[in-house]
Amino acid sequence: MRFPPLHPSAALHLAWIGGLGAAIILMLVDLLPYRLPFATPDKFFAAVLSLEIFFVLLVWPHFVPTLLGDGIPAARILLQVGVLLLFGLPLVLIAANVSGVDAGSVLRGQALVAALAALGAGIAARFRSALPWYLLAVFWLSVAHPFWAFLGDQMGAASPRISVYVSPFWGAVADRAAPAWVQAAVYGLGGLTLLALPARKAAA
């Protein structure tokens, strides 16, 4: 028996809430032979926020072309982001309660997630051919650059002060509020600007 195809929006929402829920369950059930260093009450909120950022950086942009092809205008694609944040809010609030995080930290974390989603949507909607370069930039800012800074720190070198203002994961878990707000403003403005651009006509 063949199952009917999933609507793109439904597939997006299932991937979002299913991915978050499955990752949280894996952190809590302790199935691995070793304990995860971030699966502790004080780091639970940071782990959930990092999962959200991972999704909007690497998974969400691949849904955008399908949603646009389904007839959703680019300017209204951010409504989908709002729905995602709304669906994930119960898990975020539970994590914040477990970790003892205040409302300001929750607000700036969700603002950063929304801004990164806007940037990914803008690139996927207006410059789809640039997605590989976008993913390369995400890898550098989220993995390579923090790892390079960590190695430098282990060797006694000071980490560049700007690092926390450009790396999404670093800024999300920083003790200070400024890095997350600066990134949310810069990345959010960039995404909104891209979405406001007129769509390029396909070559004949």
Residues listed for the chain: 204
pLDDT of residue 166: 84
Highest mean pLDDT among 20-24, 90-94, 145-149, 196-200: 90-94
The whole-angstrom separation of Cα 172 and Cα 116 is 11
Structural domain includes residue 89: yes
Structural domain includes residue 145: yes
Work out the mean pLDDT of the chain and round it to a whole number.
Answer: 82
The pTM of the full predicted model, rounded to 2 decimals, is: 0.85
Structural domain includes residue 44: yes
pLDDT of residue 141: 85
Structural domain includes residue 203: no
Show the domain range for 88: 8-196
pLDDT tens-digit series, residues 127-139: 888 888 998 998 8
Per-residue pLDDT band at 154 (split at 50, 70, 90): low
Identify the residue whose tokens are 């999933």: 6
Structural domain includes residue 201: no
Looking at the 3D structure of the chain, how many domains does it have? 1
Q: Are 129 and 202 in contact (CB under 8 A)?
A: no
SS (H, E, C) 64-102: HHHHHHCCCCHHHCHHHHHHHHHHHHHHHHHHHHHHCCC
